[in-house]
Amino acid sequence: MSLDPNIAVYLAQGGAGAAPDSLAAIRAATDLDLRRLHGAPEPVASVSDYEIPGAAGSPVALRVYLPVNAPASGARPAIVFAHGGGWCLCSVDLYDNPCRALANATGCMVLSVDYRLAPEHPFPTPLEDVYAALVWTTEHAVILGIDPARIAVGGDSAGANLAAGAALLARERSGPAIAHQLLMYPALDDRLSSASCGEFAEGYSLTLETMRFCWSTYLGEKSDADSDYAAPLRAQSLHGLPPATVMVCEFDPLRDEGVAYAQRLRGASVDASCITLEGMIHGCMHMLGLTPAARQLFDAAAAGLRQALRL
C-alpha cells in the first residue's frame, strides 16, 4: 500500500513541526499538535474520574469511559488502557478523544491510566502504576459494573509497552487474570535495530532519534537486567501470557518489533494476531480528524476483542 494521502499531505506540510529544545517544550508542542488531529469528540454514556493508589501507594488518576452503546445493567467488558507518549509525554486529558472512540468502537468500558511520567518517574514506576490500576480494576470490578473475567489490558506505543509489561508482571505475580492484550503499534525493544527502524528513521512523524530519546528518559541508568519488563520483546519467556491483538502501522519505525512480538507470542503457544494498519504512521490513534482511514485502528481493536471478551 501507499501512504494514506491525507497523512502524506500532513507530513509534506511539516507534520509535527520542528523538535523543541527542552522536555517542557516537547510536552507542550505534543499536546498542541495531537489535539489538532483529533476532530470532534465522540459522545459517550458517561465519563468518571477516580484517584487510585499507584506504585507504592502514590495517588494516580484514572478516567473511566462508558460507551454510548453500553447496556443499562449487567457486568461489562473493560480495557485498562495506558496512553502513549514515549513514557515521558501525554496524559489522560490528551487521550480523551481517542479513549471515547475506543470505548464506542469496542463496546468496552475504558479505564485510562494517568501513570506518572519519566524522567521524573523512570522505569519501573510507570509500569507499576499501570499494573496497580489493573489490580484495582479487578478488585473493584463488581462496584464498577465490570465482568472480572472480561478485563483486557491495552495501550498504544509506549502505553502498549506498559500493557505488555503489565501482562508479564501479572503472570509472574499470579494475577490478576487478564483476558486479552490490545497492543497498538507497541514500543517493545530498546535496541531499535530492526529493518523498519532504518527504513522509516526520518520523514514519518516519529523519528528514530525521538525513540532513542524516549527510551533514555524511561530507562535512565537501568541495566539490561531490567529489560524483561522494560522491553518485552527481550523477555526470556512469553509462555503463559494472555491472547493478544498486535497492531502495527505500515509506515512506522516500530513496525517490525510489533510483528516480531506477535511471532514470539505464537511461538510460545499464545494466541496472537498481528494486524497491519495500511497506509498509517505511528500515532494514528489520534488522527480521526485528519483521515477517515484512521478508523481502521478502532475497527481492528473491536475485531480483536470480539471473541476474547464475547462482545
Which of 83, 121, 180, 282 does the annotation list as catalytic?
282
Parallel, antiparallel, or unpaired for β 272-281 and 76-82? unpaired
Which of 189, 190, 252, 256 does the annotation list as catalytic?
252
Sign of CA dihedral 10, 157, 18, 88: positive
CA distance 182 to 81: 9
Q: Which three cell numbers stand for residue 270?
A: 499464545
Angle at which helices 158-172 and 125-139 cross, to 10°? 60
Q: Indicate if 223 belongs to the active site.
A: no
CA distance 128 to 134: 10
CA distance 311 to 299: 13
CA distance 91 to 70: 25
Which of 38, 96, 129, 157 does the annotation list as catalytic?
157
Q: In what order do the strands lie in the sheet with 244-251?
A: 46-53, 59-66, 109-114, 76-82, 146-156, 180-184, 244-251, 272-281
Q: Indicate if 121 belongs to the active site.
A: no
Angle at 110 between CA 165 and CA 26, to 5 degrees: 65
Sign of CA dihedral 5, 25, 253, 189: negative
Helices (runs of H) and strands (runs of E) counted in the chain: 11, 8
Whether residue 132 contacts residue 55, with contact meaning beta carbons closer than 8 Å, is answered with yes
Q: Indicate if 157 belongs to the active site.
A: yes
Q: How many CA atoms lie within 13 A of 59 on its CB side?
A: 4
Helix (H, G, I), strand (E, B) or coil at 280: strand
Q: Which three cell numbers stand for residue 185?
A: 503499534
Q: Which residues are catalytic?
A: 157, 252, 282
